Structure 1
Amino acid sequence: MAVAQPDVSVIIGAHEAMPYLIECLSSVEAQTIDPERIEVIAVDDGSTDGAGEYLEEFAERAPMHVLVIRQENSGGPSGPRNVGLGKASGRYVFFLDADDRLGPEALERTDVFSSNIKFTLSAQKRFRGELLERYGMRFDESLFSGEDALFTMEAYLWADGVSIVADHTCYHLVGRDDGKHVTKSGGYTLRFDSARALMNLTAEHVPAGGRRDQLMMRPFPVTLLPQFGPTYLTDSEEVRRHKFELAAPLMDAHWAEGVARRLKVHERLRLHLVAEQRPDLLLDVVEFVKAKKQAAALLEKKGRRVYLAYPHFRDRAAGIPDAVYLAGSHEARAFPGYREGGVDTFVRRAVSTARRTRS
């Protein structure tokens, strides 16, 4: 008798994941979906803490089919995910980190809700297996940070639609006590690798314009900007120079008016200084932001323009265009006397001027 195709393949990559793996597998067992509709593919990525042995014990007693693969350590999460993906036969695929756990109905609910999905790019989602196979999707094993964001964004771009569960907790992200959580490890260069990969993927799939700018709102403020946040103040001069060197090609290729005008003033100002290669001015801005000071507001043009006077505002020696300090409507509405209108064109001029200066 032919074995029915499972609805969901749950892929778990485990490396030194004990004791978190115990609750992770318990959450798989507790799923409300029929166990016969699930297959679990667990890849022990060279663990020395007993994770591999525990996976084999789980496979013997679990109510669903469990395949355990044991291999030498691959050095990152992409390798075991790709190995598991190569063995998956389910109509959908769900990537579950061994130190996290599922909500009880995570594999069963599929209601559609509108969402700003570009800000949720972890791989812990249910993917249609046919989609992954059609486009030959695999995790980029050269990335040790942000590999899941790249994979998930590509799936979004290929998919005809995405379903979001907004009324139920599906996944529990667990903070490890041992400090080995993958998102907390790795140096700053890995973050630039991640930003570069995500920006290039977006540019490859989406023509220049508003839709691309919307997607670029993920790598610019979320991945790149933190490298020029509070940690920048404690960086050595060598690291600061290196960060500017790594950022330069990304800013030249992908920094655009449509991205700039969607940012808050302090975000736009910092990235403007990075694009202009002005580390001498950036330090003052980062210190101001870290101190959580409120920039003074200046209303002009009968309230249609609100400038936020962060450091170097209208400093002739600094030469930063006024438009960089111009609050978008989302920020300007907080100030009494603001009137809608007159923002976008002004910000566009600032970015255009910056591009001409660099070329």
Structure 2
Amino acid sequence: MTRAQPDVTVIIGAYEAMPYLVECLASVEAQTLDPSRIEVVAIDDGSADGTGDYLEEFAARAPMPVTVIRQENSGGPSGPRNVGLARATGRYVFFLDADDRLGAEALERMVAMADRNGTDVCLGRVEGVNRKAPRSMWGANQDRTDVFSSNIKFTLSAQKLFRRALLERHHMRFDESLWTGEDALFTMEAYLRADGVSIVADYTCYYLVGRDDGKHVTKSGGYQLRFDSARALMGLLERMVPPGPKRDVLMVRPFQVTLLPQFGPVFLRQDEEIRRTKFDLAEPLMDAYWNEGVAQRLRVHERLRLQLVAMRRPDLLVDVLEFMKAKHEPRPVLKKGGTQLYLAYPGYRSRKDGVPDRVYLAEPREAKAYPGWRQTPAETFLRGATRKVRRRLGRLRKRGTGPHGRVAA
């Protein structure tokens, strides 16, 4: 008798995962989704701590079919995930890291959400355990959204539910040449190719566990790997998204999350050779991708630091970082009747330094925190009009009609 196709293949790449693997597998066994609708493909990536043996023990007693593959160490998470994808048969795949764990209802809720809405990717709420987790995208459940109109660009880890047909149609696999950021590349491509993305925000589907043995991939590796990661993601966005506001919205992510930390407090602790190398690595990225559309979407201190990198001004960057390290607050400078607010970080209005004034200009979301600033009448009108449009569309959705009286699809 031929076994029915499972709903979801859980792919677990494991390297030196004990004892965290015990709770990880227990969370798979505890899923409320019927075991007949789940399959597990687990890859022991050359562990020497008993990880492979424990996977074999689990396979012998698990209520769902489990395939264990043991291989030589591949050096990173991409290889095992690709091996798992090649063996998967489920309608969906879910990548579970061996030191993390699932909420009991995770797979049931995510599969139901994706099936109900016909979406290709489903995100489940993530909670950090001894480490930080993304937060800005969990405000409410979303049946259908996309990467341009939500904050999902700030969660690019691979721990999502992906429709396997999408991955196979576009021959999507993890880039094994990257030692970090490979999941960001894969997930961003899936977002861009997906026919809709769903979000389960009202239930913790995934527990992101911080290891205390220093073996987390994101905690290891030299700074050069971060530049490799940024270069790969920026290149993907260049290939897949035409120039303009949509690309700028997404380009914020590699600049803010990957590049900017390299020019934060850690920069002050590094010697001149490393500082010079960082500027050299950043130069082609700044020349190719840094523009006003990206800059205006950042806070002043973020925009200023990256602008100084683009200008190759490590001296002034150090001044700004020392200013921030001392917890100084920049002097607010109001102009044009209080409708423009500049934050006077080091270099402001200095002819010698030559940083354009616009770099110090706070956008409304940042400026509103300062007394005396006010929006221009045009901005106030547009924001009010936008709120009215949102309210009207919300009422129409509740009634099941579109804006022209048609039944909403």
Counterpart of 2:77? 77
Is the Cα contact below 8 Å between 1:326 and 1:343 reproduced in 2? Answer: no
> The residue matched to 1:42 in structure 2 has which SS?
strand
- 1:230-268 superposed Cα distances (whole Å, 9 cap, x missing partner): 000011110000000000010111111111001000000
- 1:197-247 superposed Cα distances (whole Å, 9 cap, x missing partner): 111101110001111011011100111000000000011110000000000
The alignment yields a C-alpha RMSD, in angstroms, of 1.4
Counterpart of 2:287? 252
Deviation, 1:336, is 1.8
Deviation, 1:339, is 2.1
Counterpart of 2:356? 321
> The residue matched to 1:173 in structure 2 has which SS?
strand
Structure 1: tracts of 5 or more residues without a match: 345-359
Deviation, 1:67, is 0.1
Is the Cα contact below 8 Å between 1:247 and 1:274 reproduced in 2? Answer: yes
Distance 1:141 1:341 in 2: 50
Counterpart of 1:356? none
Of all paired residues, the percent bearing the same amino acid is 72
Change (3 A) 1:52 1:343: farther
* 1:159 pairs with one of 194, 203, 213: 194
**Does the alignment pair 1:43 with 2:43?**
yes
Counterpart residue identity of residue 314, structure 1: R
> The residue matched to 2:277 in structure 1 has which SS?
helix
Counterpart residue identity of residue 334, structure 1: A
Deviation, 1:341, is 4.1
Deviation, 1:294, is 1.4
**Does the alignment pair 1:136 with 2:181?**
no
Distance 2:371 2:378 in 1: 17
Structure 2: tracts of 5 or more residues without a match: 114-140, 380-409
Counterpart of 1:33? 33
Counterpart residue identity of residue 40, structure 1: V
**Does the alignment pair 1:197 with 2:229?**
no
**Does the alignment pair 1:150 with 2:193?**
no
Distance 2:223 2:377 in 1: 38
Deviates more, 1:102-111 or 1:162-171: 102-111
**Does the alignment pair 1:175 with 2:210?**
yes
Counterpart of 1:18? 18
* 1:297 pairs with one of 317, 326, 332: 332
Distance 1:27 1:183 in 2: 23
Distance 1:75 1:118 in 2: 26
Is the Cα contact below 8 Å between 1:94 and 1:125 reproduced in 2? Answer: yes
> The residue matched to 1:43 in structure 2 has which SS?
strand
Counterpart residue identity of residue 36, structure 2: E
Scaled by the length of structure 1, what TM-score is found? 0.94
Deviation, 1:292, is 2.8
Distance 1:139 1:291 in 2: 42
**Does the alignment pair 1:233 with 2:296?**
no
Distance 2:326 2:202 in 1: 37
Scaled by the length of structure 2, what TM-score is found? 0.82
Distance 1:201 1:341 in 2: 37
Counterpart of 2:119? none
Deviation, 1:8, is 0.2
> The residue matched to 1:17 in structure 2 has which SS?
coil
Distance 1:171 1:191 in 2: 25
Counterpart of 2:398? none
Counterpart residue identity of residue 171, structure 1: Y
Deviation, 1:300, is 0.6
Counterpart residue identity of residue 173, structure 2: R
Distance 1:218 1:194 in 2: 12
- 1:89-118 superposed Cα distances (whole Å, 9 cap, x missing partner): 000000000011111111111345154100
Deviation, 1:342, is 11
- 1:142-161 superposed Cα distances (whole Å, 9 cap, x missing partner): 00110011100000010010
Distance 1:259 1:194 in 2: 18
Distance 1:154 1:24 in 2: 27
Is the Cα contact below 8 Å between 1:39 and 1:65 reproduced in 2? Answer: yes
Distance 1:290 1:142 in 2: 36
